[in-house]
């Protein structure tokens, strides 16, 4: 069962996934450096960075998909809006669209943050 784009949990989901990625990425980097440190002569091109880069790209892709899904829901207008006697439903639709829009922005922020924090994987050697 998936969450609807306007569900209040969407407001926490993106940044929670980013925080989980952050802990897993840096925790696994620390463990890898302690257990099997890569050869420093390889620089940034090693298995540790490659694995973390794949994790980073997959996490950012998931967050981007969620942002797109919520943004699409935020832009969707109900066919019943504007009809007489539908004021209560219009307010509910407006609230749903607002929640979906805010969730889309938060998911997008988390996706960008994931990519920005993951950028050093492209240029820096781990365990140095």
SS (H, E, C) the chain: CCCCCCCCCHHHHHHHHHHHHHHHHHHHHHHHHHHCCCCHHHCCCCHHHHHHHHHHHHHHHHHHHHHHHHHHHHHCCCCCCCCCCCHHHHHHHHHHHHHHHHHHHHHHHHHHHHHHHHCHHHHCCCCC
Output the tens digit of pLDDT for each of the chain's 128 residues: 477 888 888 999 999 999 999 999 999 999 999 999 999 999 999 999 999 999 999 999 999 999 999 999 999 865 444 555 556 667 888 888 999 999 999 999 999 999 999 999 999 999 88
Which residue ranges make up each domain of the chain? 10-123
């Amino acid at each position: 069962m998936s969450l609807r784009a306007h569900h209040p949990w969407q407001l926490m989901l993106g940044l929670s996934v980013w925080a989980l990625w952050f802990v897993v990425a840096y925790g696994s980097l620390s463990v890898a450096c302690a257990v099997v440190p890569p050869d420093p002569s390889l620089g940034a091109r090693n298995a540790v960075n490659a694995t973390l880069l794949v994790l980073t790209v997959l996490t950012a892709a998931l967050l981007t998909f969620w942002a797109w899904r919520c943004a699409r829901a935020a832009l969707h207008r109900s066919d019943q809006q504007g009809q007489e006697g539908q004021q209560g439903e219009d307010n509910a639709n407006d609230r749903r669209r607002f929640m979906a829009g805010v969730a889309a922005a938060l998911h997008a922020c988390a996706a960008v943050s994931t990519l920005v924090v993951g950028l050093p994987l492209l240029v820096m050697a781990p365990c140095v």
